[in-house]
Chains A and B, each alone.
Chain A
């Protein structure tokens, strides 16, 4: 007695089911693939390791990589909704093509495989460093840091930020991660974590985010690949 297999009935079913869908009015800044939010997410994802992670979240816990250090995490305050974002990635030295200040182009940085086992001869990757005019945040991530980050230090200074970024040789799994952070009072430095891409003791950091109106100070050490013959910093630092 049913005619439900006819195309018309299918269309009618689909129409009814479409009515059941909630409608979402998303801010353009988050909706547009070329908007600031989508671009930031793209940038962060593409600077994470392409190595396969365990699909779990491992939040930071006491007694792990920051044990005994004085440091502070600020809860991300929602001061700059809709703001543009600046992205700074520390890059390799000796890459003659490294521009000092480059807009992150759609063709983007290549894959970063820097969290894999240490390679004595890491391949060169282009610099990904950009500070977008009008940005309210700076995002610092590491592509494969062997570099002396002095140049980027200078960029941060230009923005009046009292932020010292250095790198230290570390075991392979901590390359590109925040291995030490010390911040002043009220410092809104937020770590960007990639859950599922963590060290054995729960360091999932892949970068930091700093508001450009940052008035405090911060000292941040990222892990880098040891040079040949160099011993990596131990867990105790």
Chain B
């Protein structure tokens, strides 16, 4: 059963609504791009975006003002994990966005085979760490927010992932 919203005063409700709208507008494209890059089909990104913002709407009071984007990435990562093991619904919040994204043209990357192979030889955790840095431009302390770990742990994990990627790049033929 839904817990009662804490019957906020109208002022509080306005502040929360304004905060959410600001977050939504500021992060919509980043989150959509984040989701698109990680979904097999562009339509699937619609659910990730809609569900992530829905969570943000419900928890707007918990989102640190200066970390909204990172907070959304963190939630979206969980959404993506859930998507991989759940059947999605038909008509819902994301219906319209899904329709539109179905028209999205996807240009497959052009990368030397050995680079792709080296990257795919890494664990999924290493890959995602490196993607967050290269694709989303996150620094180590920002990774910590997304991954919900300490900054120190994030630095160590990133360092190791880089080391393993460098090693994999040096031996392309072994993974062939």
- Answer yes or no: do A and B interact: yes
- Residues of A that sit less than 8 Å from B by CB: 2, 4-5, 9-10, 13-27, 29-31, 33-34, 37-38, 40-42, 44-46, 48-53, 55, 57, 59, 73, 75-76, 78, 81-82, 85, 106-111, 113, 115-117, 119, 123-125, 173, 190-197, 204, 206, 209
Task: Kindly provide the distance from the CB of B83 to the nearest chain A CB, expressed in whole angstroms.
Answer: 11
Give the dominant DSSP class at A's interface: loop
Is the CB–CB distance between B58 and A50 below 8 Å?
A: yes
B115 interface residue (CB < 8 Å to A) = yes
Is the CB–CB distance between A4 and B162 below 8 Å?
A: yes
Is the CB–CB distance between B50 and A45 below 8 Å?
A: yes
Give the dominant DSSP class at B's interface: helix
Task: Kindly provide the distance from the CB of B62 to the nearest chain A CB, expressed in whole angstroms.
Answer: 11
Is the CB–CB distance between B57 and A9 below 8 Å?
A: no
Give bound CA distance, A59 to B96, whole Å: 18
A29 / chain B contacts, CB cutoff of 8 Å:
100
A sample of 17 inter-chain contacts (CB < 8 A) reads A2-B166, A13-B165, A13-B166, A17-B135, A18-B134, A20-B116, A26-B42, A30-B32, A31-B32, A42-B21, A42-B24, A59-B89, A107-B17, A110-B17, A113-B4, A194-B93, A197-B54
A115 / chain B contacts, CB cutoff of 8 Å:
2
Over the window 14-57 of chain B, the binary record of Cβ atoms lying under 8 Å from chain A Cβ atoms (1 yes, 0 no) is 10111011001110110011001100001000000111011001
Residue of B96, B115, B166 most packed against chain A (CB within 10 A): B96
Partner of A110, one of B14, B24, B54, B107: B14
B91 interface residue (CB < 8 Å to A) = yes
B86 interface residue (CB < 8 Å to A) = yes
B95 interface residue (CB < 8 Å to A) = yes
Given A108-B21, A196-B51, 18 more pairs with CB closer than 8 A = A17-B134, A20-B119, A21-B131, A22-B108, A24-B107, A25-B106, A38-B97, A51-B4, A52-B58, A57-B89, A110-B10, A110-B16, A111-B8, A190-B95, A194-B93, A195-B92, A197-B54, A204-B92
